Amino acid sequence: MLAADPLTPGGEKKDKAKSPPPQTQSRAVSLARSCTNSYSSCLKQRAMVKAKTWILKQHFEGFPKDHDFELKLEQLPEPKDGEVLVEAVFLSVDPYMRPFSCVRMHPGDVMIGTQVAKVIRSKNPAFPEGSHVVGRCGWRTHTVSDGTGFIRILSDWPQDVPLSLALGGIGMPGLTALYGLEEVLAIKPGETLLVNAAAGAVGSVVGQIAKLKGCKVVGSAGSDAKVAYLKELGFDYAFNYKTVPSLEEALKQASPEGYECYFENVGGHFSSVALSQMKQFGRIAVCGGISLYNDKEPQTGPYPHLPMIFKELRMEGFLVGRWEHKNEESLRRLLTWLQEGKLKCREHVTVGFENMPAAFMGMLQGENIGKAIVKV
């Protein structure tokens, strides 16, 4: 029953409500559509995240230069089912990026690299919103991905341990050090280990793990400050290869009896001299060759054939991915050592995504002590 019309005496039934005039109806429909379109537009705007990306503008010729990189904006879509949107928190700059860019990248590609990122939108239950991952997203602030290659930060990651260490001592560099020592060199207590680039992300962990395993450790670095850092870490002997009168004499003085194991990060002249100091049946793990990365022309000689033959040395190159199936267990070992105070991790932090190229070039020039990272 209709309510009484206050303007109708006696509360007589009023006529059925009339339809609004066509113009009014049309305007109402138009407003409804406008609201719907506005809501859709809002959703679309929410989805429209712009990622900053650093592009390899052209292949490096010699040492990288500012004009080899270009900063671009990329509009990202809303994640589909099974996808996530992540936002970079820390990005890694590493020596391997220099040679890899020559063989695995083309001009116009986003610079390769790993980052710690926060999941800010998720349609993938494996990566809930608010969780953190390590991913090979490259030099970009935001990424939409189905999660392939993403690694969730350990669920029991301690709150007092910086997440950035997942790019350093409790990440790829730490794993590289561990696998190089255990899987390639198979170091034993009482042996003497030589490691160069020893104050870097990998070398500093190499020396500490070798000490944990009862080895004598000799480290080479490129500044007096780095040498002091190696001594803080417990290296038995450390020297500045740039200031010693003779590299050969420095190696002999550090270990007159020679070396059973050599963890190679530098290459070139250092490698040639170090091979002559190896003991019979010595083992060499070839992790890197940073002295060679920026050469326009490949270095030539001297060649290691005779020392390799007469000392019966074993030299093996390796990539950390070979032991990927062991990563979770190995990361927990590294984290335990860190919490027990047996492993120390130092970081060289550059602030600002816009400074990625500068951080990368600085790392290649040896400006960092410990792991070089960029905080967004």
Q: How far apart (Å, rounded) are the C-alpha atoms in residues 346 and 205?
A: 10
| pLDDT at res. 155 | 81
State the span(s) of the chain assigned CATH 3.90.180.10. Answer: 49-167+346-375
The domain defined by 172-323 folds into Rossmann fold (3.40.50)
Q: State pTM to two decimals.
A: 0.85
Whole-number Å distance between alpha carbons of 125 and 204: 37
pLDDT in tens, the chain (376 residues): 333 333 333 334 444 444 445 444 444 444 344 444 544 444 444 557 999 999 999 999 999 999 999 999 999 999 999 999 999 999 999 999 999 999 999 999 999 999 999 999 999 999 999 999 999 999 999 999 999 999 999 888 999 999 999 999 999 999 999 999 999 999 999 999 999 999 999 999 999 999 999 999 999 999 999 999 999 999 999 999 999 999 999 999 999 999 999 999 999 999 999 999 999 999 999 999 999 999 888 787 777 889 999 999 999 999 999 999 999 999 999 999 999 999 999 999 999 999 999 999 999 999 999 999 999 9
CA dist 115 and 231 (Å) reads 30
pLDDT at residue 204 in the model: 98
Please give the distance of CA 293 from its chain centroid, rounded to a whole number.
Answer: 19
Q: Residues of CATH 3.40.50.720 domain(s) within the chain?
A: 172-323
**49-167+346-375, superfamily in CATH?**
Medium-chain alcohol dehydrogenases, catalytic domain (3.90.180.10)
Q: In Å, what is the CA distance from 223 to each residue of 220, 227, 265?
A: 9, 6, 16
Q: Name which of 54, 110, 121 is nearest 87 in CA terms.
A: 121
Query: What pLDDT shows up at residue 47?
Result: 54
Residues 6+ apart with CB under 8 A from 320: 172, 175, 176, 179
- 335 near 345, Cβ under 8 Å? no
Radius of gyration of the CA atoms of the chain, in A = 30
pLDDT score recorded for residue 25: 44
d(CA 309, CA 281): 10
